Structure 1
Amino acid sequence: MKKIILSALAIIALYSSVSAQVADSAKRKVELQGAVNFRDLGGYTTKDGHHVKWGKIYRSADMSKLTDQDLATLAERKIAYDVDLRGTQESKQAPDRMNPNTDYILCPAGSDNVGNMMQSFKGKTHGDSIMVDYYSNTTYLADRYKPFFGKLLAMPEDKSLVFHCTAGKDRTGIGAALLLYSLGVPYETIMNDYEASNYYRAAENEKMAKQMVQFMKINEGVAKDVVAVKKEYLDATFTAIKKQYGSVDNYLKTQVGLTDENITELKAKFLE
């Protein structure tokens, strides 16, 4: 009986989580024909009761296949800044398609070995440990995200910014987490935004996992681990940062270069 009750509670919790995500998606997701996982980071409540402004910062997956209609949508949302977190080769193979005069910057630090990482999954039966190792490596984080924060600080009040990688879940997920943290958003909310990629990428994840099994001969379980986001992955990044630098605040200050004045400016620009 106890097991049945626990199972029922788990199902209810899962249903509630999915229902909440569907409701959240209605206001957060930007419908595009040529990109997935494109969503607004607005609306999140900070610890002191403020809210992240809507329509200012967006996160996405690959943006090389945007249609003319998609570009019109970006123009309507005043998206004039594009921060690309992919590696040099990734960006060359699938260059972003953006509106003319978009301020574009490539932040490839640590991303040029992604191909080698994919090869490391062959012969494995569990992908979690490799993903945790990846998320625990803070070597390239500062060089990758410092330009991102620089663009946010420099962006005019009447413009908006999108940042992305290929899948829009790992490099983009860490970037979103650090940004939301700097704005004072609670960690639980940060994690919810991170894990939402599983919802936004559900169909794409299933497709990618099948391709990895078929063409790369990767174990099915490993493939599913790789395409998903899990709490322990992002936890690994924050744990590593705290272990090496004492706190996330100290890391943002000493490694990313965000001064107290910068944090105040970010909050003034992107909170209401």
Structure 2
Amino acid sequence: MKRIILLSFAAVCFTCAATAQVADSAKRKVELKGAVNFRDLGGYATKDGHHVKWGKVYRSADMSKLTDDDLAILNKLNVAYDVDLRGTEESKNAPDRLNPNTDYILCPAGSDNAGNMLQSLKGTTNGDSVMQTYYSNTTYLADRYKPFFGKLLGMPGDKSLVFHCTAGKDRTGIGAALLLYSLGVPYDTIINDYEASNYYRAAENKKMAGQMVKYMHINEGVANDVLAVKKSYLDATFTAIKAQYGSIDNYLKNQIGLTDKDLKTLKKKFLD
């Protein structure tokens, strides 16, 4: 049981649901039997009046338990690219179940130290502090998300892409935030999309919190904090990037490697 919790926790380290985002959940959420928090990033308005295209980019939690029916749904959605943000052990122990010929890439940078983080929760009563420290660490972000943007830039127009970690909230949440920012989506909307994981993961979070308390003897409040997403967490990432690189735009250009041409390409491909 401890091993199961550790593998699940790897994602959660890495109600206040976003009202507007949840309101269109019937259109945004993809109903799958073997995955939670699988949703479309489309529909968001940009600062200059465009909208992110529906049916092009999806975010998700663990995809190792997809059923045959789930795979048929992904096939209908033209999901031909899978960017896995988990660590090497996570992906090895729960490999993605994919349709044939899916372009799969693993981006494990910074994701192989979940055990150390789990141990740090024992005895602490401040889960927010642990999470803000995690989100403030920009060391691995470029290595993790460069391949993600590379796949987006190279993806054919008639295909779609899914990116995910284990819970689909931390590493996936940061990736979604950087993508939406690059497309010109306002920060308030980015936060709404990020916080919506609390809504889509409500049942899973309750179950996982109980396991962490029972088997790992972690404070219940701390368990709830690290399983949740909060504005202050994503704020910590954006604040750290700005402090180190001057702005998010500088970071995307100089660390992720997105040229002006790349940004124009992303907007042309993913905005209406």
TM-score range relative to shorter protein:
over 0.9
What's the CA shift string for 1:61-110, capped at 9, x where partnerless?
Answer: 00000000000000000000000000000000000001010000000000
List gaps (5 residues or longer) in structure 2.
Answer: 1-14
Question: Following the alignment from structure 2 to structure 1, what is the Cα–Cα distance between the partners of residues 107 and 152?
Answer: 14
Where 2:24 maps in the other structure, the secondary structure is helix
- 1:169 paired with 2:169, answer yes
In structure 2, the partner of 1:200 is 200
In structure 1, the partner of 2:74 is 74
The structure-2 alpha-carbon separation of the partners of 1:218 and 1:244, relative to structure 1 and needing over 3 Å to count, comes to: same
Question: Following the alignment from structure 1 to structure 2, what is the Cα–Cα distance between the partners of residues 255 and 22?
Answer: 32
What's the CA shift string for 1:156-178, capped at 9, x where partnerless?
Answer: 00000000000000000000000
- How far off is 1:115 after superposition? 1.9
Where 2:121 maps in the other structure, the secondary structure is coil
TM-score (norm 1): 0.93
- How far off is 1:24 after superposition? 1.4
TM-score (norm 2): 0.93
Please show how residues 137-216 of structure 1 align to structure 2 within 5 Å.
137-216=137-216
Contact 1:21 1:199 in 2 (8 A): no
What's the CA shift string for 1:166-200, capped at 9, x where partnerless?
Answer: 00000000000000000000000000000000000
In structure 2, the partner of 1:5 is none
Question: Following the alignment from structure 1 to structure 2, what is the Cα–Cα distance between the partners of residues 247 and 19?
Answer: 28
Equivalenced residues, count: 258
The structure-2 alpha-carbon separation of the partners of 1:259 and 1:22, relative to structure 1 and needing over 3 Å to count, comes to: closer
Contact 2:18 2:195 in 1 (8 A): no
In structure 1, the partner of 2:259 is 259
In structure 2, the partner of 1:50 is 50
List gaps (5 residues or longer) in structure 1.
Answer: 1-13
Percent of residue pairs identical: 81
What's the CA shift string for 1:211-238, capped at 9, x where partnerless?
Answer: 1001111000000001000000000000
Question: Following the alignment from structure 2 to structure 1, what is the Cα–Cα distance between the partners of residues 18 and 195?
Answer: 11
Q: Which amino acid aligns with 1:54?
A: W
Larger Rg: 1
Question: Following the alignment from structure 1 to structure 2, what is the Cα–Cα distance between the partners of residues 114 and 58?
Answer: 25
Select the structure with the greater relative contact order (CA < 8 A; seq sep ≥ 6): 2
Q: Which amino acid aligns with 1:77?
A: L
In structure 1, the partner of 2:4 is none
The structure-2 alpha-carbon separation of the partners of 1:71 and 1:198, relative to structure 1 and needing over 3 Å to count, comes to: same
Q: Which amino acid aligns with 2:247?
A: S
Q: Which amino acid aligns with 2:109?
A: A
- How far off is 1:23 after superposition? 2.4
The structure-2 alpha-carbon separation of the partners of 1:137 and 1:182, relative to structure 1 and needing over 3 Å to count, comes to: same
In structure 1, the partner of 2:249 is 249
Task: Please tell me the root mean square deviation across aligned C-alpha atoms, in Å.
Answer: 1.2
In structure 1, the partner of 2:239 is 239
What's the CA shift string for 1:100-151, capped at 9, x where partnerless?
Answer: 1000000000000012111110111110001000000000000000000000
Where 1:120 maps in the other structure, the secondary structure is helix
The structure-2 alpha-carbon separation of the partners of 1:174 and 1:81, relative to structure 1 and needing over 3 Å to count, comes to: same
Where 2:115 maps in the other structure, the secondary structure is helix
- How far off is 1:18 after superposition? 6.9
Question: Following the alignment from structure 1 to structure 2, what is the Cα–Cα distance between the partners of residues 271 and 21?
Answer: 18
Question: Following the alignment from structure 2 to structure 1, what is the Cα–Cα distance between the partners of residues 232 and 86?
Answer: 23
The structure-2 alpha-carbon separation of the partners of 1:184 and 1:115, relative to structure 1 and needing over 3 Å to count, comes to: same
In structure 1, the partner of 2:3 is none
- Find runs of 4+ consecutive structure 1 residues off by over 6 angstroms: none
In structure 1, the partner of 2:26 is 26
Contact 2:42 2:55 in 1 (8 A): yes
Q: Which amino acid aligns with 1:247?
A: S
Where 1:175 maps in the other structure, the secondary structure is helix
